[in-house]
Amino acid sequence: MNAPVVDPYQGEFPETIEEYLHHGTMKCIAFNRTGTLLAAGCSNGSCVIWDFETRGLAREFRDKDCTAPITSVSWSRYGHRLLASATDKSLTLWDVSSGEKIARITLQQTPLRASLQPGSPTPSNCLACPLSSAPLLVDLNTGSTTVLPVSVSENGNPPAPNPRNKFADGTPPFTPTAATFDKHGDLIYVGNSKGEILIVDSKTIQVHAVIPIPGGTVIKDIVVSRDGQYLLTNSNDRVIRVYKNILPVKGSGEEIRNISNNSNGCGSHYDKLKENGASCLILSCELSDAITKIQWKTPCFSGNGEWIVGASANKGEHRLQIWDQTGRLVKILDGPKEALIDLAWHPVEPTIATVSVTGFVYIWAKEHVENWSAFAPDFVELEENEEYVEREDEFDLNPREEEAEEVVIDENAEIDIETYEKNAVFSDVEDSVDEVVFLPAIPSPDAPDEQPEKCLGSSSKLEDSNHSGSPSSMDAVQNGQAVPQASSPMEGISIAFCHILCQLFPFCPTVVLTICSPIGLYEQYGSFVFV
């Protein structure tokens, strides 16, 4: 693969923890398409949305029917909807702008991950990966589910499950599977426990291609890059494999149907699917830790697809490793001594958000170096001392001005302030689609706080000690009113007494110090006495 030559020491990837977000115990996160909003699922069944620009809380979704921990959150293509899966086997679809619940259905198995189909601005179909069954294509409007094939036999039919290998309730044994949509939702990539990638048509639910993984180990994760050009798998053999997508990003469904129809008739059906798979994906590189041989979790691509990040699955270790597209390790990031459970790379910026087992979301970003030339273009930063050579006319009273080329400006030309250039990262956005990029913060009603009452109680005790026997002040404190402090009689006598001492001993300040200091009056009124 022709990858760009990138200096590993000048790469656009994060370097240190910039700050952290905390709201309850967060379990999973996901950026919207532009990276301006960050959604998080919490252990109490709620979902929150952070304004990533200001790091402020913009939304919180609570469903009284769901109090189980959230396992995954997924945005719709243009940010209008948010899907949350939970351990109580539920899928909940939220309207992001209004905060209303659109739909809620319950599956037969606990969905570990769920993602909305990216083909529509307001999708109603989603892909769910249950804990102990095959991936499901779910219609959130009707609640109907379609089981996706996880393997193929020689004759092209799904293999029948072995009746002896079943649980007590008759369900098939646990076979972990991973699945994801392609960029536009035309195809579904399914990774099975036999070490195969199945390419399934999302409309006909037909397997068109099979790509065997070297080693044939269980595929735990399967991820497609945001631009749709690459795909990665995370297997039990502790290797992350990156594949180059040969299919067109747009119209991939039609293209793979043409490949399947034009395949040669020789060989078995499985061999035909393998031949089709060779025309869809090409293995680009393999990523692993050759020294420690650690397991990886939640790997993903950077926003531009140039970098791949994987997290260590070891307990109590918050470690990230970043590779480039050639498989070269360029960065190792070590965080707090807390296990990492989820991560997401920002779509545009060199920023990574990670979730620890304690529920904190850590924001990894580049170290910002002060650049003074940004404030003054003529300012030049010097690495070391240099000999300065002055110009001939630098200190003249009337220095010779350089003749500047005259710029011809058409003052009558019309200035267009409405047309803007599209960001190349989001060039596929349709002009007619109103995308949700920012959310205004909705103030929530203040909950009764016990702390002010405790403060009032301590204030009343303080007033008791200073103004004992003052009913008016006690009534004011009980009514929550502020009481101005009045000088006590002792303080009035002390001031007059200090005046008398100053008049009697104008040239003997030692006497005033001796009398007033032991009772703390000199420190309070000393500056007033000797003025």
Q: Over the stretch 447-481, which tens digit does the pLDDT of each residue have?
A: 554 433 333 233 333 233 333 333 333 333 333 34
Asked whether residue 512 carries a pLDDT value surpassing 90, the answer given is no
For the chain, what is the mean pLDDT? 79
Give CA–CA dist 345/456, Å, rounded. 47
pLDDT at 58 over 70: yes
What per-residue string of b and e applies to 49-87 under the rule 16 or more CB within 10 Å gives b? Answer: bbbbeeeebbbebebeebebbbbbbbbbbbbbbbbbbbb
H helices of 279-423, where? none
Asked if residue 523 has pLDDT above 60, the reply is: no
Q: Which residues make Cβ contacts (< 8 Å) with residue 245, sequence separation at least 6? A: 182, 224, 228, 229, 230, 231, 280, 281
Is pLDDT at 159 greater than 60 in this prediction?
Answer: no
pLDDT band of residue 282 (cuts 50, 70, 90) is: very high
* 3-class secondary-structure state, position 400: coil
The structure tokens listed for 104 are 């809620």
Residue type, 282: I
Give the per-residue pLDDT at 199.
Answer: 96
Alpha carbons 529 and 501: distance in angstroms, whole number: 9
Whether residue 5 contacts residue 49, with contact meaning beta carbons closer than 8 Å, is answered with no
Contacts of 495 (CB under 8 A, 6+ apart): 525, 528
Query: ∠220-222-227 over CA atoms, to 5°?
Result: 165
Of 344, 310, 345, nearest in space to 327 by CA? 310
Strands 125-130 and 319-324: unpaired
> 487, 322, 488, 441: which is closest to 48 by C-alpha?
441
Per-residue H/E/C for 14-55: CCEEEEEECCCCEEEEEECCCCCEEEEEECCCCEEEEECCCC
423 — pLDDT class (breaks 50, 70, 90): low
Structure tokens at 348: 């545009």
Give the HSE-up count for residue 525: Cα atoms under 13 Å, Cβ half-sphere. Answer: 20
Task: For residues 186 and 280, give the distance between their C-alpha atoms in angstroms, rounded to a whole number.
Answer: 14
- Are 272 and 256 in contact by the 8 Å Cβ rule? The answer is no
pTM of the model: 0.73
What are the pLDDT digits (tens) for 294-319? 999 999 999 999 999 999 999 889 99
Question: Which pLDDT belongs to residue 463?
Answer: 33
Q: Specify whether the CB–CB gap between 475 and 464 falls below 8 A.
A: no
Single-letter residue type at 420: Y
What 3-state class would DSSP assign to 496? helix
As given in the structure block, the two tokens for residue 457 are 């109680």
- Band of residue 526 on the pLDDT scale cut at 50, 70, 90: very low
- Residue 498 parent element (H or E): helix 489-504
Short-list 250, 208, 181, 221, CA closest to 427: 250
